Amino acid sequence: SWLFFSDARTQREYDESHVITARRIEQSPTGEYLVPDSKELGCVRYCVVYDRETSSLDCCDYEEEEKEKGTFLVSLDAEEGTAVRHARSLEHFTRHPVLVLRGGYKCFSARYHFLRTQKILWMPQELDNFQPYPVEILPAKLYMGNFKQACDQRIQRDLKIKAQVNVSEEPATLFEEGSKYLHISVPDSLEADLLSTFATICHFIDAQLDRGAVLVFSSLGISRSSAVTMASL
């Protein structure tokens, strides 16, 4: 496992909904936070803790967060709060920094409502089959992904994708009526000429960002899509 979500809210709030795969933080009768399996934490690359609003981090509300385009993850150099206190206790059991979700569940669920659930137990096969979402480059505006994600109707709907830039050799399927689509077939080769396509692609992306979200993708979402995305910024 490379990601561990820890929920520091009340049992009632957790039962109502929480981030997919998140585990609620348990407390001892004396009020101390109980650390999950330390062996599991030692293998986790990203450990993220959140509470209801994480007000100790002076988070803006959702509209202000959209305006400022700030990051959701912050370090522990912050005033003590529920999430921060628990995160500090987890630091002793993981080799990597423990992060706190800025704004807590309130801000996160407002923007990523499709990543919340009431489900608590997950079978290994369910986790293996879980489809990751494209990487968010500009909040709610520009995404980068692979061919499989680009053809996923649920992802297109959840992210409100209104335009796609396809730099793979295969044509993709758009499900949203009125969506715009730019396909520039580029082979996955060191000799491929991407540079000459940048002007066309950047002009297309700039024109579509005012209409809605844009997804840039290639076959695996690694090299060609990364190069095009960086060129557009």
> Do 120 and 46 share a structural domain?
yes
pLDDT at position 60, please?
Answer: 40
pLDDT at position 36, please?
Answer: 67
Q: What angle do CA 20, 25, 27 make, to 5 degrees?
A: 160
**Both tokens of residue 56?**
């100790």
Distance CA 218, CA 168 (A): 5
Which of 84, 106, 128 terminates a domain? The answer is 128
pLDDT at position 159, please?
Answer: 93
Render each residue's pLDDT in the chain as its tens digit; 233 residues: 678 899 988 889 999 999 998 988 877 777 676 776 666 777 778 889 999 887 544 444 434 444 444 455 554 454 567 888 888 878 877 878 888 988 899 999 999 999 999 988 878 777 777 788 999 999 999 999 999 999 998 999 999 999 999 999 988 777 667 789 999 999 988 888 999 999 999 999 999 998 899 999 999 999 999 999 999 99
The CATH number linked to 205 is 3.90.190.10
Residue 32: C-alpha distances to residues 82, 120, 175 (Å): 11, 23, 50
Q: Is residue 69 left, alpha or beta, with left meaning phi > 0 and alpha meaning psi from -120 to 50? A: left
> Do 104 and 52 share a structural domain?
yes
Asked if 196 contacts 185 with a C-beta cutoff of 8 angstroms, the reply is no
> Do 226 and 189 share a structural domain?
yes
**Considering its fold, how many domains does the chain have in total?**
2
Q: Is residue 166 left, alpha or beta, with left meaning phi > 0 and alpha meaning psi from -120 to 50? A: beta
> Do 118 and 15 share a structural domain?
yes
Domain that holds residue 191: 132-232
> Do 28 and 102 share a structural domain?
yes
> Do 163 and 112 share a structural domain?
no
Taking the CA atoms of residue 121, residue 127, residue 129 and residue 133 in that order, the dihedral angle to the nearest 10 degrees is 110
The CATH number linked to 84 is 3.40.250.10
pLDDT at position 38, please?
Answer: 63
pLDDT at position 175, please?
Answer: 67
pLDDT at position 73, please?
Answer: 52
Which of 72, 93, 128 terminates a domain? The answer is 128
> Do 195 and 160 share a structural domain?
yes
> Do 145 and 103 share a structural domain?
no
Burial class (CB in 10 A: 0-12, 13-18, 19+), 137: middle
Single pTM value for the model: 0.76
Which of 128, 157, 177 terminates a domain? The answer is 128
Asked if 93 contacts 86 with a C-beta cutoff of 8 angstroms, the reply is no
